[in-house]
Amino acid sequence: MDKSKALEIALVEWTASLKSRDRSRKSVRPNFEELFQKWKDLDGSFDDLYETLLPKAIKAHLPVPSVARSMYKSIKQKAALDKTEKEFIEEWNHSIEAAGTEAFFEFFPATTADHDPEPKTFGAMSATEYRAQRRYADQFPTLDTTELVKQWREQKEYNLDVETVLDDVLGDK
C-alpha cells in the first residue's frame, strides 16, 4: 500500500478509537504518542506528516463544542472560575494542541525543508544537489522527436466537419 495512504488510514483508525478512549488531560499525550508510534512504524517522516496529518490529528482530539460548553458550565457551578466560556474552551484546545505538537517533535524532529548548507552554485542548487539531480535525470532515456515533429508539421487534414458526421451517423434518427 502507498505510504501516504497507510499513514492516513492509521489516523482514521486512531480517530475512531478516540471515542472510547480516556481523553482527560493526563491521557492526551499518551493518546498522541500511540498514533505517532504507529506513524513511525509506517516509516512516516516529518515532511509526510507535519503540514498534512498532524493538524488533522490535533483537530480530532479537540473536544466537541457541546462537550466543552457543558464542561465549562459544570466546573463553573462547582467552583469559582475567572474565565469566560470562550477563554476556557480556547485554553483547553490550546493545551491539547501543545501536547500533541510537543510529542510530535519528539518523534519526528523538525527538518528544515531542503536545507542544504553548501553554497548554491547551480541556480538554487548546491553542487551536491545538482549532481544528484543530474544522476536522476540521466536515468530517463531521451526521446527522438524527429519523426514526431515531422508528422506534426505535416498534419493538414485534422479538422472534422461535425455537421457532416452528425448527418452520417444520426441520419434520420
Partner 1 sequence: MKFTPEQMLEQLKLAGKGPSAEVDISLAEIESFGDKDSLREMITDIGKYKKMLSERITFINDALSATIPFTRENLYLMCAYTGSGKSTVAANITYPLWQQKKKTLVISNEESKQDILFRIACLHLGMNFNDYKKGQMPNDDLLKVVGLFPEISEYVKVLDVTYQDGITTKVEGIKKALEAVKQEDSYSCVLIDYFQLIKYSIKDSKKTSYENLNDLRVWLGQYVKSSTMPVVLFAQLYSVSKKGGAKDIDTRIKDCSSIVEPATVIVEIVPNFENKTSEFIIHKDRFGMAGKKIVCGFERGRYTMVSDDEVAQRALEGKLAAAANKLSSLEAYGNVKT
Which residues bind to partner 1, rule: CB under 8 A?
Answer: 4, 47, 51-53, 55-56, 113-114, 116, 120, 122-125, 128-130, 132-137, 139-146, 148-149, 151-153, 155, 158-162, 165-166, 169-170, 173
- Roughly how many angstroms between the first and final C-alpha of the chain, as a whole number? 49
The helix or strand, by DSSP H or E, that contains position 39, with its residue range, turns out to be helix 25-41
Query: Taking phi first (over 0 means left), then psi (-120 to 50 degrees means alpha), and beta for anything else, what does residue 40 get?
Result: alpha
Residue among 27 and 133 whose Cβ is closer to partner 1 = 133
Q: Indicate the residue among 54 and 103 with the shorter CB distance to partner 1.
A: 54
Q: What is the DSSP letter of 141?
A: P
CB of 80 to partner 1, least distance (A): 32
CB of 161 to partner 1, least distance (A): 8
Per the listing, cell 459544570 goes with: 74
- Shortest Cβ 137–partner 1 spacing (Å): 4
Min separation Cβ 84 and partner 1, Å: 21
Three-class SS state of 122? strand
The nearer residue to partner 1, 26 or 173, going by C-beta atoms, is 173
Q: CA dihedral in degrees (125, 131, 134, 135; nearest 10)?
A: -140
